[in-house]
Amino acid sequence: DGGITQSPKYLFRKEGQNVTLSCEQNLNHDAMYWYRQDPGQGLRLIYYSQIVNDFQKGDIAEGYSVSREKKESFPLTVTSAQKNPTAFYLCASNIGLGNQPQHFGDGTRLSIL
Amino acid sequence: GQQVMQIPQYQHVQEGEDFTTYCNSSTTLSNIQWYKQRPGGHPVFLIQLVKSGEVKKQKRLTFQFGEAKKNSSLHITATQTTDVGTYFCAGHEGAQKLVFGQGTRLTINP
């Protein structure tokens, strides 16, 4: 079955540590997105990529980094510069043409130790 | 930048009652999308509205897009326990960036 796989489901970060969240899709979608969800808030865009080897900052990119070396993969690194990383992180993708619906992975819940 | 406001933030109803959530944008939208997120789950696309004044129905769900394309609503008739979750509207800023409302969390008393 086609879909988006995020791993791990739960992740714990120590102070000063970088962690990487995985996002893989087999939908053959060109565009991929990372969102952060906090309780009582909507989804906020961290980074997005419309094509391999290209990505743009979203609304809350500070303290995060991404890469897009392969069409299927869009990993997100939460760096030590992100002072409040505890949140639910969602990866999404779409075909990238116009305003197409986004398909979401199951998410990764990141907590601070 | 574009802002999308959604009200109410929470709504608790008795099973069988109707439910409505409203979405307002600070700018004119090219389209609006609605998503549902079940507790512990991820957002799932429900529908997209594109035309001014458009109304679409999915069984007990009715979606409307305002004439000025700056507001939208989702109405559920005779709620069921399977309707529990958070409903998000989202509008596009440019061709790719989707701006989400804060969501309306619906809980239902069976």
With CB atoms and an 8 Å threshold, state whether B43 touches A104: yes
pLDDT score at B89: 97
More confident residue, A20 or A41: A20
**Is 70 exceeded by the pLDDT of residue B95?**
no
**Is 80 exceeded by the pLDDT of residue A102?**
yes
Residue percentage of chain B with pLDDT more than 90: 89
Tell me the pLDDT band of A20, cut-offs 50, 70 and 90. Answer: very high
Q: How many Å lie between the alpha carbon of B78 and the closest alpha carbon of chain A?
A: 25
Cis peptide bond N-terminal to B8, omega within 30: yes
| Separation CA A55–CA A106 (nearest Å) | 22
Neighbours of A84 (CB within 10 A): 9
pLDDT score at B17: 98
**Chain B contact present for A104, CB below 8 A:** yes
DSSP state of A99: S
Q: Which of A104, A34, A29, A32 is nearest to A65 (CA)?
A: A34
Please list every residue in chain B whose beta carbon sits closer than 8 Å to the beta carbon of residue A104.
Answer: 42-44
**Chain A contact present for B96, CB below 8 A:** yes
